[in-house]
Amino acid sequence: MKRRILVQALSLALVALPLLASAQSGPWPSRAIRIVTPQVPGGAGDVMLREFGTRLAERLGQPVVIDNRPGANGIIATQAVAHAPSDGYTLLFTLTQHIQVPIQYKNAGYDPIADFTPIARVGAASTMLVARPALGIKSAADLVKNAPGKEWTFGSTASGPQVVLEAFNKSRKLNMLSVPYKGEAPAIQDMMGGQIDIALFTVSTARPFVQSGKLVPLGISATRRAASLPNLPTFLEQGYEDFNWIGWYGFMGPAKLPPAITTRLTTEIKAILDTPEMAKKLDSMDIVLNWADGPTFLSGMKTDTARWAELVKRSGVTFD
């Protein structure tokens, strides 16, 4: 009799386990969502992410926590999400370096495609090459003419800008020296202090310093001029077609993120982008809308990977 009772109790417990697990997990989301980013606080991407976070929290009915983890060219933040549970509570907001770093490192510790679920690409940031006024240059042509022999320094705020600048540096024999930074905020501070001479920043970061005369704009890396600086020509207009890499910002989750959660996040992010308020915010930051859902984003990343591999080869910028 005791044995029969024990068997029945175990059977009931096994039946109840899935129900208990379901009750504990509940519908998604039932708790705070953490969005990890490799960017330092204060940069253009961080500002944009915090705007998304606020609006996403309102739409999902749960807190959204921004977790800045700069360093190691984004590897720290990216690995954290690659190894996180695929439950929709840990996401990644990243930029083009996501696909760039694995090309440059022998072992970045993550696969940019296999280890992630693309959710949405949201924008493309125009970048602006700027110089200290003391250098006495005002255009890309001035830089090419005057840099050789000066040993000027250029700030690299991520692997992307470093490769683009180094490729330009080598192809024109400018002999400039690269100084790496964890993000735009510390680089802009050092530029104001005279520690570096040249740098490539997002337009929104450099624009106030350009408008105040503290930095001199040399050109825009984009397919069109920035709306806020209509008199500044692109590098394409100045005849430098090789200085035309356009980066992106996007949301991802760990690999095998449940389709229902992926679809919900994609839908909510698109709805946020479609609001006039968000469109105005991004326009004020000179971020061009570059929307893509998960599958389209994935296809674009594969194309960008091939292009970037060729540019890295030209620049020679690789890491152990």
140 sits in which H/E element: helix 140-146
Q: What residues in the chain have per-residue pLDDT under 70?
A: 1-25, 319-320
Task: Give the class (CATH, top level) of 33-124+246-315.
Answer: alpha beta
pLDDT of residue 90: 98
pLDDT of residue 320: 61
Domain ranges, ordered by start, for the chain:
33-124+246-315, 127-221
Provide Rg for the chain, Cα atoms: 23
Interhelix angle 159-171/97-104, rounded to 10 degrees, is 60
Of 63, 45, 55, 88, the C-alpha closest to 268 is: 55
pLDDT of residue 314: 82
Matching fold, domains 33-124+246-315 and 127-221? yes
What is the 8-class DSSP label of residue 319?
B
| Cα dihedral 112, 84, 159, 105 sign | negative
pLDDT of residue 21: 40
260 sits in which H/E element: helix 259-273
**Domain 127-221, CATH number (from 3.40.190.10, 3.40.50.300, 3.40.1280.10, 3.40.50.720):** 3.40.190.10
What is the 8-class DSSP label of residue 133?
G
Question: Which alpha helices (DSSP H) does 26-139 contain, by range?
Answer: 44-60, 75-82, 97-104
pLDDT of residue 13: 46
Residue 204 backbone dihedrals phi, psi, to 5 degrees: -65, -30
CB count within 10 Å of CB 172 equals: 18
Residue 301 backbone dihedrals phi, psi, to 5 degrees: -65, -40
What is the 8-class DSSP label of residue 180?
E
Distance CA 158, CA 150 (A): 24
Count CA atoms closer than 13 A to 276's CA, side-chain side: 0
pLDDT of residue 24: 45
DSSP 261-293: HHHHHHHHHHHHHTSHHHHHHHHHTTEEEEEEE
Contacting residues for 274 by C-beta, under 8 A, at least 6 apart? none
Of 160, 197, 157, the C-alpha closest to 177 is: 197
